[in-house]
Amino acid sequence: MKTIRIGCGAGFSGDRIEPAVELATKGHLDYLVFECLAERTIALAQQAKARDPRNGYDPLLVERIESVLPACVERDVTIITNMGAANPVAAADVVKELARRLGCRGLSIATVTGDDVLDLVAGGDFAIAETGAPVATLRDRLVSANAYIGAEPIAHAVAGGADVVITGRAADPSLFVGPLAHELGWSMDDWPQLGRGTLVGHLLECAGQITGGYFADPGYKDVDNLSRLGFPIAEVPEQGPAVITKVAGSGGRVTPATCKEQLLYEIHDPAAYMTPDAIADFSQVRITEIDCDRVAVDGATGRPRPGLLKVSLGYRDGYIGEGQISYAGSGALGRARLAACVVQQRLSDLGVRPDDVRYDLIGVDALHGERLSGANREPYEVRVRVAARTQSIDAARRIGNEVEALYTNGPAGGGGAAKSTREVLSVASTFVPRALVSCTVSCEVI
Amino acid sequence: MKLRGIGHSRSGDKGTIANISLIAFDERDYPRLARHVTAARVKAQFADLVGGDVIRYELPAIGALNFVLHGMLGGGVTRTLALDAHGKSLSSALLEMEIPDDDC
């Protein structure tokens, strides 16, 4: 029975590079996937593209591809990535240039486009899913609209012999479902098989999160050699369980517990995980350890795909200004509370009227609020954090400035002040009929 | 005892919706989790952070529950002022929940 080995070399745009090199050289892979797009990343990339039409792809594209391409060429490993972000065409040009420089002749590089639906959505009659308001109400604040596209164009690209496939906003699991569908002969309406493939993609898409990353809790959940965490490989046969594993000798571990945590990560109804390829059903999934760092996963299925595609909307949404400062020793909590009160009064006196503001005491109540934190104990050190959303960058700057000014104008012993301002790019979603989104695969051999 | 003694958890977000898994270390403890960790108790635990409904999904085949928390206050990952914009640390707060020591 044919079995495909597919690895995940990145689970977010800033992920570590070394585990992907390890996968490329020692993983005996057929495919190496890099998943680098979060909800907001694509909106940021659209802004970069607006400033420079040759930009808008992942900032680490060259570094990542350069680190694995020679090994992948030598071992015939196909690379699939959504690092094209807002500009897959420019990303492909950069990869072509890189391949020439590295002397990789005869390489076939495919580009998938069509996810950018800004013109369609800005000019159409679509509602924002979260609020029900028309998308048109965002007007010139709308900076991006990208549909989550599925596995089909990726499968076409690999069927056409691509060695590197570069997409924009493809859905994360679809980066895995595409090559699996091609290799294992699944038709794009074989819902149970697409559900199986979606399970594999979902488990792998966050890379180290299934091999012991984001898992360790000393004494409860111990992980060997976390600093050299290896990234995952799935062995996917035509039928039956897939096996999740990692490169022998790499750090981390693959156990039923790591697989269960990742199975439910960012899942709502496990019986209805919506993707562009199928509505996957993970509710009957079974997870079994078969050897050290080898876990079998089985029992996923699927139902017909949704008729609408989800679209991620990025829009400018004001500014956030922030400042922090620390207090220590006896009375630290009291001085920190006084500092927060002083900043609040000064912002009010200055006429700064934020849309929203919060005062946190880091180390006391910042993450979950006073009630869950039991905030009455006296900590050795406290960090005051003031964050506010404002309409203007100038107002945002006032927040951090007033915190910094606590050095000479606040309670005793404040240290380590820091401040920042940033434009807020918010993300909302809408849905468009699938028929209105057409994807194109273009391929060039260099 | 705290849930941390028999269960582990991971949390994340999509927009203004967070989810928190709760997984028995030993699948034989799943009925205890299912009995004591109801959607209502989770909603009460996170009352300061969640505005909307809490829905519980059961996965007995892997000994796990999945809680979906609607209406996270602050407006979701991209615009919230919260320090942990993604709700990644919610898992640790769930594991603080007290359950009876032994009722097996």
CB contact under 8 A, A220 and B82: no
Residue A86 binned pLDDT confidence (cut-offs 50, 70, 90): very high
CATH of domain A313-429: 3.30.70
The answer for residues whose C-beta is within 8 angstroms of residue B94's C-beta and 6 or more apart is B3, B9, B11, B20, B22, B42, B45, B67
- Specify the range with the lowest mean pLDDT, choosing from A129-133, A439-443, B24-28, B54-58: A129-133
Question: Is some CB atom of chain B closer than 8 A to the CB atom of A409?
Answer: no
What confidence tens digit (pLDDT) does each residue in A23-55 have? 999 999 999 999 999 888 888 999 899 899 999
Question: Is some CB atom of chain B closer than 8 A to the CB atom of A263?
Answer: yes
Average pLDDT for A393-420: 97
For helices A61-75 and A18-26, angle between their N-to-C axes, nearest 10 degrees: 10
pLDDT for the residue numbered A375: 61
pLDDT for the residue numbered B100: 93
Residue intervals in chain A for CATH 3.30.70 = 313-429
B77 burial level (CB within 10 Å; 0-12, 13-18, 19+): buried
Nearest CA among A163, A29, A16 for reference residue A96:
A163
Give the closest-approach CA distance of B50 to chain A in angstroms.
Answer: 11
Q: Which chain B residues are Cβ-neighbours of A217 within 8 angstroms?
A: 8
Which residue in the set A268, A357, A366 is minimally distant from B17, CB to CB?
A: A268
CB contact under 8 A, B61 and A286: yes
Reply yes or no on whether the pLDDT at A298 is more than 60: yes
Name residue A308's beta-bridge partners. Answer: A433
Nearest chain A residue to B82 by CA distance is: A367
Residue B100, in any domain of the structure: no
Give the closest-approach CA distance of B103 to chain A in angstroms.
Answer: 22
pLDDT for the residue numbered A35: 98
CB contact under 8 A, A286 and B62: yes
Count of structural domains within chain B: 1
Residue A93 binned pLDDT confidence (cut-offs 50, 70, 90): very high
Reply yes or no on whether the pLDDT at A345 is more than 90: yes
A141 burial level (CB within 10 Å; 0-12, 13-18, 19+): middle
Q: Order the strands of the A31-34 sheet from edge to edge.
A: A286-291, A294-298, A242-246, A232-237, A3-10, A31-34, A78-81, A164-166, A108-113, A440-445
Q: How many of the other CB atoms lie within 10 Å of CB of A158?
A: 23
Residue B7, in any domain of the structure: yes
CB contact under 8 A, A368 and B14: no
Note down pLDDT in tens along chain B; length 104 residues: 999 999 999 999 877 899 999 999 999 999 999 999 999 999 999 998 888 999 999 999 999 999 999 988 776 666 789 888 888 999 999 999 999 987 65
pLDDT for the residue numbered A369: 86
Reply yes or no on whether the pLDDT at A108 is more than 60: yes
What confidence tens digit (pLDDT) does each residue in A221-250 have? 999 999 999 999 999 999 999 999 999 999
Express as a percent the part of chain A with pLDDT over 90.
93
The answer for residues whose C-beta is within 8 angstroms of residue A248's C-beta and 6 or more apart is A26, A293
Q: What is the ipTM of this complex?
A: 0.96
Question: Is some CB atom of chain B closer than 8 A to the CB atom of A368?
Answer: yes
The radius of gyration computed from the CA coordinates of chain A, to the nearest angstrom, equals 24
Nearest chain A residue to B4 by CA distance is: A220
Q: How many of the other CB atoms lie within 10 Å of CB of A445?
A: 12
A47 burial level (CB within 10 Å; 0-12, 13-18, 19+): middle
Count interface pairs A-B at CB distance under 8 A.
118
Centroid of chain to Cα A119: 25
Rounded to the nearest integer, the mean pLDDT of chain A is 96
The full DSSP string for A204-217 is HTTGGGGTTTTT-B
DSSP letter (8 states) at residue A38 = -
CATH code of the domain containing B13: 3.30.70
Residue B41, in any domain of the structure: yes
Phi and psi, residue A308, nearest 5°: -110, 145
Residue B102, in any domain of the structure: no
pLDDT for the residue numbered B103: 63
Reply yes or no on whether the pLDDT at A84 is more than 60: yes
Residue B30, in any domain of the structure: yes
Residue B54, in any domain of the structure: yes
Give the domain extent around B40: 3-71+81-94
* CA atoms of B71 and B52, how far apart (whole Å): 5
